[in-house]
Chains A and B, each alone.
Chain A
Amino acid sequence: MKQKKPWWKQPGIQIAAVLVVLIVIGGIVGGIFLTQTPPEQPIAFPHDRHVGMGASCLYCHPGATLGPSAGLPGIEKCWGCHQQVQKQSPELTILAGFVERNEAIPWVPVAIQPEFVHFKHSPHLNAGLECSTCHGDLTKMTVAEPQKGQNMGWCLQCHKNTAPEQWTKLSDCATCHY
């Protein structure tokens, strides 16, 4: 009688195991790739140049002090300056196109939270945080880049370090998850 192979030597199981490993690895690699590379933007906006010239972040993202969302500038905001200054560049031609068609610029948000996290900008700015604490040094980026390792542990670490006296409130699940 042919001896029965142990279960881990059966080809079906082995194939399945290899597939699972491949899928998991693929998922991880894909996930890391997608979360850690800047998405393609309709206009390759040069943050470095604007910030370098001394433009305030809040000029284009004024919602940060007011409420949850910092907001992305619309054509009005961009064109407010650029119909006066520096009209010659390929990116500005794209902008001019949006303005001409009166279309919204389909910016792709970079720093976003999953839907079960209710992040709000205003309390953080009111607490005196700098934009660069979470968004990185924008003087060194053209398009905005996602920052590495921004998970819940990172949030809590910062909460613990910056305001240990408010730890009860800042570690409360209800502060971000509802």
Chain B
Amino acid sequence: MAEVSIAEKWGLVVDQDRCTGCNACVVACSMENNVPFTGEDNVAFGRGTYWIYNKRMWEGEYPRVAPAFQPVMCQQCGSAPCEPVCPTFAAVHSEEEQINLQVYIRCIGTRYCANNCPYHARQFNFQDPDIPEPMNSYLNPDVTVRSKGVMEKCTFCVQRIVGGRQTASAEDRPLRDGEVTPACVAACPSGALVFGDLSDPNSRVSQMAQNERQYKLMDELGTKPKVTYLKGGGRNGG
């Protein structure tokens, strides 16, 4: 089969040498994207909802033991396994932004997409969000609050991308590099996450994605992820 060329647009670089595993990204994402907290029992049932989660893998034996941290979010595959299996076309590819979308109103909750996602990036709402008054006041009106039975996942904060695009267009100028930052990137205390336009060879994210430490998660599956990881310097397989 001939190589399918994949258009590049938005991309994320995760520098695992900077990443400390502090999980600020997890919380920042949840507050921006109205991801509901589910409570102890649901987490214990494996039903906690995290659009981005920190994979912690122990390496070595005591006393030379250390965790390797790897923040995993939707990799926005160029050739996404979740898309062809959706019977309702809820998991679709955005031609404009080159990311994977989840159209909540189409989703009927078959969870085929989650089954097919090799990154465990898709999260299912096993229940309606339970956010009592007045705590629902902080919910972000730019993002739909998902109901029970709907699949959801990281969107690269598409509401910020569209907002930034429209602001730039209203001011009749192109988007600047670094103008759009997803919530996780904005929060990251150690500066491990860099977001930008991969189609622009001069953008910071394109430059960083060329780093010799770069690798893609499960690239051998042919998913063409838009997220690039940079290996840790000392540990993390570096």
Contact surface of A with B, Cβ cutoff 8 Å: 114-116, 118, 120, 122-123, 126, 168-169, 172-175, 177-178
Contacts and interface: CB of A to CB of B under 8 A. Distances in A.
A165 to B, nearest CB: 13
A175 B158 CA distance: 9
Contact of A172 (B96, B142, B143): B96
A142 B45 CA distance: 56
Given A126-B170, A173-B103, A178 B92 contact: no
B103 A177 contact: yes
Contact of A178 (B155, B166, B169, B170): B155
Contacts of A174: 94, 96-97, 99, 101, 155, 158, 161-162
Given A118-B159, A178-B159, A173 B166 contact: no
Query: Which range holds the interface residue count of chain B?
Result: 20 to 34
Of the listed residues A115, A123, A177, A178, the one surrounded by the most CB atoms of chain B closer than 10 A to its CB is A178
Nearest to B92: A173
15 contacts: A115-B145, A116-B105, A118-B142, A120-B166, A122-B170, A123-B166, A123-B169, A123-B170, A126-B169, A168-B95, A172-B95, A173-B92, A174-B99, A174-B101, A177-B104
B177 to A, nearest CB: 20
B199 interface: no
Contacts of B161: 174
A172 B95 CA distance: 7
Given A175-B162, A177-B105, 19 more contacts: A114-B105, A115-B145, A116-B104, A116-B105, A116-B144, A118-B159, A122-B166, A123-B166, A123-B169, A126-B169, A168-B96, A172-B94, A172-B97, A173-B103, A174-B94, A174-B155, A174-B161, A174-B162, A178-B155
A174 B101 CA distance: 7
B33 to A, nearest CB: 9
A178 B97 contact: no
A22 B119 CA distance: 47
Contacts of B101: 173-174, 177-178
Contact of B144 (A120, A122, A123, A178): A178
Nearest to A66: B170
A115 B94 contact: no
Contacts of A116: 104-105, 144
A114 B104 CA distance: 12
Contacts of A169: 96
A175 B95 CA distance: 11
Contacts of A172: 94-97
Contacts of B166: 120, 122-123
Interface string B80-104: 0000000000001011110101011
A174 B161 CA distance: 9
B180 to A, nearest CB: 13
A59 to B, nearest CB: 20
Contacts of B105: 114, 116, 177
Report the 9 A-B pairs with minimum CB-CB distance, sorted nearest first. Answer: A172-B96, A169-B96, A116-B105, A178-B158, A174-B94, A116-B144, A174-B158, A123-B166, A173-B101
Contacts of B155: 174, 178
A141 B169 CA distance: 33
A132 B58 CA distance: 63
B172 to A, nearest CB: 9
